[in-house]
Chains A and B, each alone.
Chain A
Amino acid sequence: MPTTTQRRQPPVDYIPRITAQYSGLGYGEYRWLESEDAPNWVPLSKPLSESKLGLICTGGIYVAGQTAFHFKDDTSYRTIPTDVDTSDLRATHFAYDLTDARKDINVVFPIEQLRSMIDENALGSVSPNAYTLMGGIYSTRRVVEDLIPALVDRVLADEVDVVLLVPV
């Protein structure tokens, strides 16, 4: 019987596929993060409609005029003003197809969606600063020692109520 909608496949298992590919290409082994302990849990202090949201995205996004990311283990971050004109946002990256991100940056940096949530009174506000990263960093030590403390400091200084993370 013909059907227009075919049965769904399960989610893609990226870890074995990417590991096999790296091995086939002769790259060094990428050690995927395997957390062994359950994460901390902090309850929301107020409803979302009254909350100030912080935004952190990987995907190699920068504003025209900023120094771009480089592709090898870049542990720097960029501060993106959240009132930015999205036509000034750029994306460069070694690890994903950028075609759609360059058509519409909101697919990896969802600022217009968040603005419409505020317009609908479903979200209180967005922090004036968002932070963008490169990702794909081989050294967990550098992430833990350099990048994470800097980002945690920024998030606390921004006094946000919740943080949304958007990896690619």
Chain B
Amino acid sequence: MGLIARAIEAAGVPTLSMSSARDITRSAWPTRSVYLDYPLGHTAGRPNQQELNASIMRDTLSAFESLTEPGAMAHLDYRWSDNDDWKDKVFAPVEPSESAGGSSEYDDDRVARHETPQYQNEDDHAAAALTHDSEECLVCAGIDY
């Protein structure tokens, strides 16, 4: 995403990148970024907390006007929980579990990298097939890419 932000800025449009992985964003070095110290999968907030998430967005967008130096990162003052124990479990090696056949050595949400579309549910698969068959497929029509 850092490359995309840099390319858009180079094309003349101001960009701002949200981040919950400070080191990855620093390494990619986009023009403006805002760091929120939440677990991955929560870049913009917490589920069903509209007021909190609106507050996060207000603070995020204010960085468009407060950051003044290329590559600068603002830190938002929100905390995921009263303690930071969740950080100990992120991509941390865990003991092989006997019950899991001893195969899982890591606490990891990652799944296999399939080469076919992965739908959230079968209804979506059927709906996409329908638009595809009726030649309204937004992807195939080149409107998407």
Contacts and interface: CB of A to CB of B under 8 A. Distances in A.
Nearest to A115: B54
Contacts of A106: 44-45, 47, 50, 53
Residue from the set B87, B116, B120 with the largest chain A CB neighbour count within 10 Å: B120
Contacts of A39: 5-6, 9, 29-31, 70-71
Nearest to B15: A163
A163 B3 contact: no
Contacts of A38: 29, 70-71
A84 interface: no
Nearest to A61: B120
A95 B112 CA distance: 9
Interface string A16-44: 01101100110000001111001111111
B123 interface: yes
B112 A71 contact: yes
A70 B139 CA distance: 13
Q: Interface size bucket, B side? A: 35 or more
Interface in A107-139: 107-110, 112-114, 116-117, 120, 122-123, 133, 135
B65 A4 contact: no
Given A6-B83, A34-B27, A168-B43, A92 B119 contact: yes
Contacts of B64: 44, 48, 162
A114 B23 CA distance: 26
B99 to A, nearest CB: 20
B43 A108 contact: yes
Contact of B3 (A41, A54, A148): A148
Nearest to A159: B13
B47 A122 contact: no
B110 A95 contact: yes
Contact of B44 (A12, A13, A15, A107): A107
Interface of A: 4-6, 8-9, 11-15, 17-18, 20-21, 24-25, 32-35, 38-45, 47-48, 54, 56, 58-60, 62, 64-73, 76-79, 90-92, 94-104, 106-110, 112-114, 116-117, 120, 122-123, 133, 135, 140, 143-144, 147-148, 150-152, 155-156, 160-168
23 contacts: A9-B84, A25-B106, A32-B27, A35-B27, A40-B6, A68-B119, A71-B114, A71-B118, A79-B144, A100-B41, A104-B48, A112-B50, A113-B53, A116-B50, A117-B57, A143-B4, A148-B3, A162-B13, A162-B16, A163-B15, A164-B15, A165-B16, A167-B21
